[in-house]
Chains A and B, each alone.
Chain A
Amino acid sequence: MEEEAHGAAAETASDYINHHLTNLQVCRIDGEWVWNHCEAGLFSANTLNVDSMAIAVLLGFGFLYLFRRVAKKATSGRPGKLQTFIELIVGFVDGSVKDAFPGRNKLIAPLSLTIFIWVFLMNLMDLIPVDWLPEAAAAVGIEYLKVVPTTDPNITFAMSLSVFVLVIYYSIKIKGFGGFTKELTMHPFTPPTRGVGIIAAPFFIAFNFILEGVSLLSKPLSLSLRLFGNMYAGELIFILIALLGLYQLPLHFGWAVFHILVITLQAFIFMVLTIVYLSQAHDTGH
């Protein structure tokens, strides 16, 4: 298997692309650790994408280390260059939160900061030329390596569903279970409450519930699929460009420059939508 994977001469374009898009997986089958031969269903509870997980956690720790170092020495006096830079980011996130979120909540701003920086760093892995890390990994005997964690739906869905759980939690906490149920069933069409029309009320409620349920469930879905789709497509184009031989150099440069915008924008959108969804969960307006 390993010889096959490294037989560069025999490698077709399709193999090359597939190789880049395959996670390094480990699973436990019959009491033994098995690498890269795990079942490939939609859900597999015993498998772990080692590469996505390790890179995501490493980048997360990198983010926490850097910010913690600044936070520990943070002074209200004349700040150093690093502190100024970190404060710029924190101030930017704080501004975004204050713009979109009217209430006071100690969780939302740090959550937004973590999401923004972490997603940005994970997206940033996309700018490392596609062959460097996989080749380096192959050199030490690691067969597969998918470098960009946000091209793994596990990562994006885990983040968006965590946000979704928070949305549900705050909806119920702020509006009460009754209020949240009412929001899901009494809008946008108010069911009739008197007269003969009352027999139609259950249909109104069912219709509203379907409508609002879809819009509620589409939030985490769109949040994660947008990030995953953008990064996956971007990575795929990098891989395709890498197949072009010498022509890849200008093309890679152009796409990478454009991608700087994409990765920042995607991280920003993920953060802003998180804030917006959570502020909707806090909104008792209607």
Chain B
Amino acid sequence: MNFNLTFIGQTIAMIVFVWFCMKYIWPFIMGAIEARQDEIAEGLAAAERGRSDLAKATGESEQLIAAAREQARQIVDQANARAGEIVEQARAEGAEEKARQLDGARAEIEVEINRARDELRGEVVAIAVAGAEKLLAREIDPAAHGEMLDRLAAEL
């Protein structure tokens, strides 16, 4: 072993190297590593936030969909009810119309019957007169017996 100037040279070199490393190398590399660690932590936090936001939005959208579905159901129910009502109303109107027409027809028939009865009555009178003429074999003076015949016609 021979200790010499190399010892001092190496000591100086070491001091310079360590100083340089401390001043110009370590802080930069460590800074980059720590900054990246922070960024990763932030990114993970943001992802977590995004995930919870998504869950919240999904819940909200499900609520909205349920509400919309409920509303649609109500509208359909209302429409059904309304349709039923309209059908009922139409049916009622139809029935009314039918009754009215029936009444009209019945009145008309009544009129016809009356008319026919009047005609028949006239004809019956004429037949009766003719029959009586034939039965009596002599002519009856329509003028003399007219009053009696009218009274008969009114009784029929």
A contacts, CB < 8 Å to B: 23, 25, 27, 38, 40-49, 52-53, 56-57, 60, 63-64, 67-68, 70-72, 74-77, 79, 83, 86-87, 90-91, 94, 106-107, 109-111, 113-114, 118, 152-155, 157-159, 161-162
Contact (Cβ within 8 A) B39 A76? yes
Contact (Cβ within 8 A) A44 B2? yes
Q: Which of B21-60 contact A (CB under 8 A)?
A: 21-22, 24-26, 28-33, 35-36, 38-39
Give B18 Cβ to nearest chain A Cβ, in Å. Answer: 5
Contact (Cβ within 8 A) A49 B22? no
Give B43 Cβ to nearest chain A Cβ, in Å. Answer: 12
Contact (Cβ within 8 A) A158 B14? yes
B1 at interface by CB-CB < 8 Å: yes
Contact (Cβ within 8 A) B5 A48? yes
Give A110 Cβ to nearest chain B Cβ, in Å. Answer: 4
A48-B4 in contact given A56-B13, A76-B36, A114-B21 (Cβ < 8 Å):
yes
Chain A residues closer than 8 Å to B17, beta-carbon distance: 60, 63-64, 114, 118
Give B17 Cβ to nearest chain A Cβ, in Å. Answer: 5
- A74's partner among B1, B4, B11, B32 (CB-CB below 8 A) is B32
Contact (Cβ within 8 A) A158 B10? yes
Contact (Cβ within 8 A) A49 B26? no
Main secondary structure of the interface of A (DSSP, over half): helix
Chain B residues closer than 8 Å to A161, beta-carbon distance: 11
- B31's partner among A46, A74, A153, A159 (CB-CB below 8 A) is A74
Closest B residue to A41 by beta carbon equals: B2
A152-B18 in contact given A60-B13, A67-B25, A90-B26 (Cβ < 8 Å):
no
Contact (Cβ within 8 A) B32 A87? yes
- B4's partner among A44, A87, A106 (CB-CB below 8 A) is A44
Contact (Cβ within 8 A) A42 B29? no
- B26's partner among A23, A109, A153, A159 (CB-CB below 8 A) is A109
B contacts, CB < 8 Å to A: 1-11, 13-15, 17-18, 20-22, 24-26, 28-33, 35-36, 38-39
Give A57 Cβ to nearest chain B Cβ, in Å. Answer: 5
Most buried by A among B8, B21, B29, B36: B21
Give B67 Cβ to nearest chain A Cβ, in Å. Answer: 46
Closest B residue to A117 by beta carbon equals: B21
Chain A residues closer than 8 Å to B31, beta-carbon distance: 74, 76
Chain A residues closer than 8 Å to B18, beta-carbon distance: 107, 110-111, 114
Contact (Cβ within 8 A) B29 A74? yes
Give A131 Cβ to nearest chain B Cβ, in Å. Answer: 23
Give CA–CA (A158, B7) in the complex, Å: 5
Contact (Cβ within 8 A) B33 A91? yes
Chain A residues closer than 8 Å to B2, beta-carbon distance: 23, 40-44, 47, 154
Contact (Cβ within 8 A) B3 A71? no
Give B16 Cβ to nearest chain A Cβ, in Å. Answer: 8
